[in-house]
């Protein structure tokens, strides 16, 4: 069986009886087995997925199946799936099984999607390479000596290597878009609050977004349509009506777009040469198609990354305080009182990068430095959001690289955290501002490694994001 490009093709063949859900599940299970060395999956729900496939095949015959019947989905190890392991890529949640479904997971199941397994990720979604997982690094399928990006590296590789049709990940500072770029797939971070965070392990609560991976833009649009929307379990989720994203994408109306490019992102000396050339080529194609592309300045650009790391680590320090070895998960055996239980459990079970971010976050929240760092970063964040939204008063979308480089070598940046953090240089703006962003494939570099192009739009303008991205992908 060959992989399908779009879920719509799968749906047609399922309806016509040319294909069964069982066939699909077996195909993906076979790929998971053949490529297990990539370490993309931590758990594979083989028997359960096959049993669910049989049940959904019966529903299809009766005409009662949901709109995602036959869609095989993988879940990043930060999303709750009832009675299944949930560890956030960390030892500290060793042996923990979720007691409920995340809202996004429940909505997938309600529409008859098939969950095939739990995917590897950087510990607690903290990382840009998927080297921080307690279960070992995920390998890039194109070149096994390269990283897949992070933190949702396992989710990106699973789609890249046809281990599932769609993956659900999370994006706090680029953790869907950057691995999508490194793996040559599509990765969406929707507007903050577009998808409920209920059942998503918290890293930075004011940044975290549930995101979607696929090779097909139409698949991403359909899944967003299903899992987005109001939720009584999440007080921060938007109650705005969810548009019909699939219909908006299918409507091939002729539109002329006005596109902004931040000059400093393209002219930066940190941008890999091939990425600059690929984006410049794409911009020339956009102009040739009759659209307007203009370079603009964004004077706050240099403050985005430090603002993100101050605020996200502060929130991580607070969120991760609940993992103490008392109630669930890993507990150190060499303890003699409550204080030693806390210290030894957290020292033994949290990885070095998580410890680093907890320490940094605790520092910026301390009484002596709270105003100097945390309060000031909140003010700067507000300015960044306001300046970003000003762009969309004049322009339809903002175009920039997804990442400054293509996939780097495993171990290349592990000794220098600052080098690793710079991998998020272009992706964090959408998170700091809370606006939607998507990474789409844009060719390859001289070594055949994928290049990602990022499109950002205003709050809740995912429809425009999809239509513009679709137009871009047609321009070769």
**Each residue of 213-230: pLDDT tens digit?**
999 999 999 999 999 999
Tell me how crowded residue 111 is: count the other CB atoms within 10 A of its CB.
17
Rounded to the nearest 5 degrees, what angle is found at the Cα of 309, between the Cα atoms of 303 and 310? Answer: 85
- Would you state the pLDDT for residue 51? 98
pLDDT of residue 162: 98
pLDDT at 476: 79
- The catalytic position among 98, 104, 170, 175 is 175
Range of the domain at 303: 1-476
Residue 324 tokens, joined: 């103490």
Number of domains in the chain: 1
Q: Where are the beta strands (DSSP E) in 276-319?
A: 292-296
CATH number at residue 379: 3.90.1300.10
Q: What 3-state DSSP class applies to 292?
A: strand
Catalytic residue among 35, 76, 282, 464: 76
What pLDDT score was predicted for residue 253? 76
Q: Is 76 a catalytic residue?
A: yes
Catalytic residue of the set 151, 181, 216, 218: 151
Distance CA 462, CA 321 (A): 34
Rounded average pLDDT per 10-residue block, the chain, 476 residues = 95 97 98 98 98 98 97 98 98 97 98 98 97 98 98 98 98 98 98 98 98 98 98 97 95 89 94 97 97 97 97 98 94 92 96 97 96 97 98 98 97 91 94 98 98 98 97 92
Length of the chain: 476
Contact 8, 14 (CB under 8 A): no
Q: Establish whether 151 is a catalytic residue.
A: yes
Q: Which residues contact 247 (CB under 8 A, 6 or more apart)?
A: none
Residue 225 belongs to what H/E stretch? Answer: helix 217-227
Sheet architecture: strand order including 166-171: 41-44, 114-119, 72-76, 166-171, 209-214, 186-189, 437-444, 450-456, 397-401, 258-262, 292-296
Cα dihedral across residues 93, 149, 412, 142: positive or negative? positive
Long-range contacts of 422-426 (CB under 8 A, 24+ apart): 422/270, 422/305, 423/128, 423/129, 423/149, 423/174, 423/178, 424/128, 424/173, 424/174, 424/178, 424/305, 424/308, 425/270, 425/305, 426/174, 426/265, 426/400, 426/401, 426/402, 426/454
The reply to whether 332 belongs to the active site is no
Give me the pLDDT at residue 219, please: 98
Output the pLDDT for position 153. Answer: 98
Given this model, what pLDDT does residue 252 score?
A: 76
pTM score above 0.85: yes
Quick one: pLDDT at residue 254? Answer: 82
């Amino acid at each position: 069986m060959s992989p399908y490009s779009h879920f719509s093709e799968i749906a047609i063949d399922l309806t016509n009886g040319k294909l069964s859900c069982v066939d699909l599940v077996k195909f993906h299970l076979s790929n998971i087995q053949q490529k297990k060395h990539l370490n993309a999956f931590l758990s594979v729900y083989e028997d359960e997925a096959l049993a669910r496939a049989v049940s959904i095949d019966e529903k299809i015959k009766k005409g009662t199946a949901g709109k995602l019947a036959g869609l095989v989905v993988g879940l990043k190890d930060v999303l709750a799936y009832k009675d299944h392991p949930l560890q956030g890529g960390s030892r500290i949640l060793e042996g923990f099984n979720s007691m409920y479904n995340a809202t996004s997971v429940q909505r997938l199941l309600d529409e008859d999607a098939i969950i095939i397994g739990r995917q590897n990720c950087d510990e607690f979604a903290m990382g840009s390479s998927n080297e921080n997982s307690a279960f070992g690094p995920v390998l890039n399928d194109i070149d096994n000596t390269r990283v897949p990006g992070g933190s949702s590296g396992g989710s990106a590789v699973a789609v890249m290597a046809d281990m599932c049709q769609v993956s659900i990940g999370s994006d706090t500072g680029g953790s869907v878009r950057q691995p999508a770029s490194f793996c040559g797939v599509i990765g969406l971070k929707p507007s903050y609050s577009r998808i409920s965070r209920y059942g998503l392990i918290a890293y930075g609560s004011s940044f975290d977004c549930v995101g979607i991976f696929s090779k097909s833009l139409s698949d991403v649009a359909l899944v967003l349509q299903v899992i987005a929307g109001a939720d009584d379990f999440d007080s921060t989720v938007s109650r705005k009506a969810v548009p019909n994203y699939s219909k908006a994408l299918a409507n091939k109306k002729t539109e002329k777009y006005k596109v902004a490019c931040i000059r400093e992102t393209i002219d930066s000396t940190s941008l890999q040469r091939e990425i600059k050339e690929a984006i410049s080529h794409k911009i020339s194609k956009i102009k040739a198609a009759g659209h307007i592309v203009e370079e603009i300045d964004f004077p706050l650009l240099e403050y985005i990354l430090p603002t993100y790391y101050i605020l996200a680590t502060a929130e991580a320090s607070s969120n991760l305080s609940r993992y103490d070895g008392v109630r669930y998960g890993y507990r150190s055996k060499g303890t003699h009182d409550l204080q030693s239980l806390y210290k030894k459990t957290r020292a033994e079970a949290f990885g070095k990068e998580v410890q680093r971010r907890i320490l940094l976050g605790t520092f910026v929240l301390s009484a002596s430095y709270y105003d100097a760092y945390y309060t000031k970063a909140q003010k700067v964040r507000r300015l960044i959001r306001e300046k970003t939204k000003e762009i969309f008063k004049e322009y339809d979308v903002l175009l920039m690289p997804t990442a400054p480089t293509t996939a780097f070598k495993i171990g290349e940046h592990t000794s220098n955290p600052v080098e690793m953090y710079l991998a998020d240089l272009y992706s964090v703006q959408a998170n700091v501002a809370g606006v939607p962003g998507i990474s789409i494939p844009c060719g390859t570099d001289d070594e055949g490694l994928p290049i990602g192009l990022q499109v950002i739009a205003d709050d809740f303008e995912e429809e425009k994001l999809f239509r513009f991205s679709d137009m871009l992908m047609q321009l070769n």
